[in-house]
Structure 1
Amino acid sequence: MSVSRRGFVAAATGLGAVLALAACGGQSAPAPATQAAQASAAATPFSYTDDRGKKIELPGTPGRIVAQVGSAAALWDFGVKPIAVFGPHKLESGERDPQVGNVDITQVKSLGNVWDEFNVEQYIGLQPELLVSSMYLKDTLWYVPEKSKDTIEKVAPSAGVMLTGRNATEVIAKYGDLAAKLGADINAPEITQAKTRYEAALQELEKLSAKGLKIELVSGSPDAMYVSTPEMVPDFKLLSDAGLDIVRPKVDAQGYFEPLSWENADKYEADVILFDSRTQALGLEEMKKKPTFAKLPAVAKGQVYPMWVETPYSYQKWAELLEGLVADLGKASKLP
């Protein structure tokens, strides 16, 4: 975590002193789109209860929002533009990480790009009014470091959106509700058009369940192949709720997946394999170098397709994902 000694000392000796210091010498952040919009939001009381059961009540609608990249991407597509992000948003090439969606990373501050990186001093200097992050565990904000969470929570209110146990449709609706409370017009033409695309693609996906394809959800690492359950993560739960036949592995204590050695990659039979295409996971060609994986019937038949896990929860991004998935599953067939 890139935080100066001055930042730590200031945080420890009193938040008020730190905010005063930041106001004098902190870095500036992008301003709201117009002064009129800012004034209108400031005049509108804000009330929101997040998925921790935490009620946030403010005299005006927060405009200076900092968000974990997944939350930032969802809010951005609903018309709410955070001033800073944390979590994977920039690839080594300098291009946007797909997890940050349509967010213009040249127009937002970066507080950290990898796990456990959050620049607390810079966060304080931005004078944020609200922090937003998703959650896999009820009281744990995704990508907010455990070691600095207490200081971060003192700077501004935070809102957590639970992912576990919900499908993508439900999570998108949650972000839409939050965006509306933050002043967005969630019935704007570009959003309603994307929602129509999304719903049409979801209907096509549901029709494909009639093919009876057995689908395995995997993520690869150098030492293991992880088979995911469809019950926990919104991305996969949506597929199960749409009627697709998903392999249900014997999950570990965390309940999300079953780790298998590559020698045991053939434990489950599947007609189709959907693999985690995030940058931190092994790519398909790397997985094919594992002999047992390469011999799987689905791999031999070419019925292995990418699925971007942690796709931003907006109608725009999920319409794209589902349309691609429908095209892939549409050309797949049952294996002998």
Structure 2
Amino acid sequence: MSGPVLARRGFLAATAGLAALALPGCGGQRPAAAPGSTAQGSTAGPWTFTDDRGEKLDLPRRPARVVAQVGAAAALWDFGVRPVAVFGPHKLADGAKDPQVGNVDITKVEGLGNVWDEFNVEKYISLQPDLLVSSMYVKGALWYVPEKSKATIEQVAPTVGIQLTGRSASQVIGRYEELAASLGADMKGVAEAKDRMRAATAQLARFKDLRVLLMSGGADAMWVVNPPEYPDIVHLTENGLNVVKPDKVDEGGFFQTLSWENADAYEADVILHDTRTQALKPEEMKAKPTFADLPAVKAGQLYPWRAEAPFSYQGYAGFLEELVANLEKASKLP
């Protein structure tokens, strides 16, 4: 793995040879789908879906047993799809739910892996899945599907990839909505959440005079994110928010790495900080003198950036409502 995928992994994921395992044969009994799970009602009849790799799936029946990367699972869950298993960060060290998994009830799904490059292929095979779903930051690379076991994983069940980069959040949400609908999701609460997201989005242009910088903090460096590469930030900029764009980005294009000594490289009225578990907390970043001295930090205009809000109307309604409430407290700085 190299180039933009490595860059993305280093920022977002915090830093087995199982091909010989027998794949399920045609004759064995399949596990029953969980009640009220992936497909609501009958799975009879053909199913077709074209993913963002341009791969068209034509199956004799609608998938009922879906396995999903946590970001994809969080989106699908809000539309009413109930995966049978997830992979990627879903459980914290203390056993609590990782925020990245959204509203997914992790007590009701199997976990196939919780960190980068961890995927229990043997357990995956035993689940006899109908479909695997994951987002993609780089086209063709399913997020959190390990390269070392990719070939085996793709033999077990068809896969769907939903592209994130180069799109706005509303476009990504729309794709998950299409996929969920095709899987027979009940769409409960979707219309109300869509209205909430629309209303919060309409408020963003009120804050066009504020310079907003989005960043993540690490032990030895901070990263200033590059707006065009993030669906959530594309949504913000397309709807009137003035987001700082770094002058120079690292390989891969997702962000610019700065030493903490250069934390003042860009002027900002508001700083939104990455809230995921691998990122430094505000009090930890404020221990860095150059960061603590930033005008936005001194003014108390340091607010959360929910960097991986689920790509659903529910997920983005909450994200945008919180952001608008925080921006209402901010003012332009000298």
Is the TM-score greater than 0.5? yes
Contact 2:40-2:184 at 8 Å conserved across structures: no
Cα separation, 2, equivalents of 1:102 and 1:283: 23
**TM-score, normalising length: structure 1:** 0.90
Q: What residue is the counterpart of 2:71 in the other structure?
A: 70
Please list every run of 5 or more consecutive structure 2 residues that lacks an aligned counterpart in the other structure. 1-15
Letter in 1 for 2:202: Q
Q: What residue is the counterpart of 1:258 in the other structure?
A: 256
Cα separation, 2, equivalents of 1:35 and 1:148: 25
Letter in 1 for 2:226: T
Shift of 1:21: 12
> 1:286 and 1:174, CA in 2 relative to 1: closer, same or farther beyond 3 A?
same
Shift of 1:256: 0.7
Letter in 1 for 2:114: N
Q: Could you report, residue by residue, the CA deviation over 1:118-159 in whole angstroms, capped at 9, with x for unpaired residues?
A: 000000000000000000000100000011101100100000
Q: Which has the larger radius of gyration?
A: 1
> 1:149 and 1:192, CA in 2 relative to 1: closer, same or farther beyond 3 A?
same
Tell me whether 1:213 sits opposite 2:198 in the alignment: no
Shift of 1:37: 4.8
Please list every run of 5 or more consecutive structure 1 residues that lacks an aligned counterpart in the other structure. 1-6
Shift of 1:334: 0.6
Q: What residue is the counterpart of 1:307 in the other structure?
A: 305
Is the partner of 1:140 in helix, strand or coil? coil
Q: What residue is the counterpart of 1:88 in the other structure?
A: 89
Letter in 1 for 2:293: K
Among residues 16, 32, 36, which one is paired with 1:33 in the alignment? 36
Shift of 1:22: 12
- In the TM superposition, structure 1's runs of 4+ consecutive aligned residues that sit over 4 Å from their partners are 20-24, 34-38
Is the partner of 2:125 in helix, strand or coil? helix
Among residues 225, 228, 233, which one is paired with 2:230 in the alignment? 233
> 1:35 and 1:293, CA in 2 relative to 1: closer, same or farther beyond 3 A?
closer
Is the partner of 1:231 in helix, strand or coil? helix
Shift of 1:208: 2.5
Contact 1:29-1:108 at 8 Å conserved across structures: no
Contact 1:22-1:124 at 8 Å conserved across structures: no
Shift of 1:23: 5.3
Shift of 1:31: 2.4
Q: What residue is the counterpart of 2:180 in the other structure?
A: 179
> 1:37 and 1:297, CA in 2 relative to 1: closer, same or farther beyond 3 A?
closer
Is the partner of 2:74 in helix, strand or coil? helix
Contact 1:62-1:182 at 8 Å conserved across structures: yes
Shift of 1:36: 10
Letter in 1 for 2:126: G
Q: Could you report, residue by residue, the CA deviation over 1:226-269 in whole angstroms, capped at 9, with x for unpaired residues?
A: 00011111121111111111111011121010000000000101
Contact 2:129-2:156 at 8 Å conserved across structures: yes
Contact 2:38-2:66 at 8 Å conserved across structures: no
Q: What residue is the counterpart of 1:201 in the other structure?
A: 200
Q: What residue is the counterpart of 2:24 in the other structure?
A: 19
Shift of 1:30: 5.6
Q: What residue is the counterpart of 2:330 in the other structure?
A: 332
Cα separation, 2, equivalents of 1:30 and 1:311: 27
Shift of 1:32: 4.1
Identity among equivalent pairs (%): 61
Q: Could you report, residue by residue, the CA deviation over 1:265-293 in whole angstroms, capped at 9, with x for unpaired residues?
A: 00101000001010010111000011100
Cα separation, 1, equivalents of 2:124 and 2:221: 37
> 1:304 and 1:222, CA in 2 relative to 1: closer, same or farther beyond 3 A?
same
**TM-score, normalising length: structure 2:** 0.91
Is the partner of 1:150 in helix, strand or coil? helix
Equivalenced residue count is 318
| Cα-Cα RMSD | 2.1
> 1:218 and 1:22, CA in 2 relative to 1: closer, same or farther beyond 3 A?
farther
Q: What residue is the counterpart of 1:4 in the other structure?
A: none
Q: Could you report, residue by residue, the CA deviation over 1:41-75 in whole angstroms, capped at 9, with x for unpaired residues?
A: 2x131111100011111011001000000100100
Cα separation, 2, equivalents of 1:192 and 1:44: 27
Cα separation, 2, equivalents of 1:228 and 1:129: 36
Question: Which is helix-richer, 1 or 2?
Answer: 1
Q: What residue is the counterpart of 1:45 in the other structure?
A: 46
Is the partner of 1:67 in helix, strand or coil? strand
Contact 1:30-1:108 at 8 Å conserved across structures: no
Contact 1:22-1:125 at 8 Å conserved across structures: no
Cα separation, 2, equivalents of 1:35 and 1:217: 35
Among residues 292, 295, 299, which one is paired with 2:293 in the alignment? 295
> 1:35 and 1:223, CA in 2 relative to 1: closer, same or farther beyond 3 A?
closer
